[in-house]
Amino acid sequence: MRDLVDWANNKDKIYPVKYATDLYFKFVSIHSFGNGNSRTARLLMNLALIEAGYPAVNVFSDEKYKNKYIDVLANSRLENAREIFENLIGEYAEKALKNHIKILELNEHNIEQARKEINL
């Protein structure tokens, strides 16, 4: 755990999505708890994304995404290639950002419509 904390203290040198996914990998490889390592790792990953200004990613939004996540994670571990997992989380982060932008655009549209309706 000390090595993980030491590594985590240098997060400013790493691209935020890469940092978040590497944090996941490093934490889950420690097997810190008897149960819940993956859940805790996902929480840490999302905390790192949120701290960097990104929205949290929902890796289990539906069965298709859950299966893809599990397959990519397994392949990434088997091939010892974190970039496979980093790319997937990058895709999820991009999707979350696009959804966030759509929500903001809808909000702006709704504010404009409300102003027109009440003559502001």
- Ordered by where they begin, the domains of the chain are 2-117 (1.10.3290.10)
20-62 pLDDT, tens digit per residue, is: 999 998 888 887 677 778 889 999 999 999 999 999 998 877 7
- DSSP character string of the chain: -HHHHHHHTTGGGS-HHHHHHHHHHHHHHHT-SSS-HHHHHHHHHHHHHHHTTPPP--TTSSHHHHHHHHHHHHHHHHTT-HHHHHHHHHHHHHHHHHHHHHHHHHHHHHHHHHHHHTT-
Active site residues: 31
Q: Would the pTM count as exceeding 0.75?
A: yes
